[in-house]
């Protein structure tokens, strides 16, 4: 049988509450990762040689970067994407045209309570 392992896969570094509770994977994907993830990781890292054509196809697809129709490769790529570096998008504006009076720390009537209102 392909992707056999006597140990269930858990990545508590990235998913401290477990794969199922992470919210990143469907129930089927979490089941697949827990059941076959240890073997997938060993194959991915080169620590284990493929034992059949399904595992060999998995390695070929992982090396090519395309999952195709292989459900094991699809879930592995999703796992790698989730644990990969996060892209941060920030909205930045340049205050080139901002007036001095709009500044909070300016001393020209920006909100003091002891000014008289005429």
- pLDDT tens, residue by residue, 21-43: 999 999 999 999 999 999 999 99
**How buried is residue 32: exposed, middle or buried, by Cβ count under 10 Å (0-12/13-18/19+)?**
buried
> Are residues 7 and 14 in contact, defined by beta-carbon separation less than 8 angstroms?
no
What band does 110 get if pLDDT is binned at 50, 70 and 90?
low
Give the pLDDT score at 116.
53
| Residue that the structure tokens 């920006």 belong to | 110
- For residue 62, count other CB atoms closer than 10 A to its CB: 19
Does residue 74 have a pLDDT over 80?
yes
Per-residue pLDDT, 29 = 94
Q: Which of 14-18, 94-98, 114-118 is least confident?
A: 114-118
Contacts 24+ apart (CB under 8 A), 80-83: 82/14, 82/22, 82/24, 82/25, 83/11, 83/14
How confident is the model at residue 97, as a pLDDT? 56
Q: Is the pLDDT of residue 11 over 80?
A: yes
Residue reference for tokens 């993830």 = 37
Which of 36, 35, 41 lies closest to 13 in space, CA to CA?
41
């Amino acid at each position: 049988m392909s992707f056999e392992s006597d140990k269930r896969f858990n990545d508590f570094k990235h998913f401290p509450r477990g794969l199922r509770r992470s919210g990143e994977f469907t129930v089927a994907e979490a089941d697949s990762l827990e059941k076959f993830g240890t073997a997938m990781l060993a194959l991915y890292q080169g620590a284990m040689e493929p034992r059949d054509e399904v595992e060999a196809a998995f390695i070929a697809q992982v090396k090519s970067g395309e999952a195709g129709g292989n459900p094991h490769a699809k879930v592995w790529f999703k796992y790698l994407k989730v644990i990969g570096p996060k892209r941060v998008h920030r909205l930045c504006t340049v205050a080139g045209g901002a007036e001095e009076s709009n500044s909070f720390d300016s001393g020209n009537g920006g909100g003091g309570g002891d000014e008289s209102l005429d």
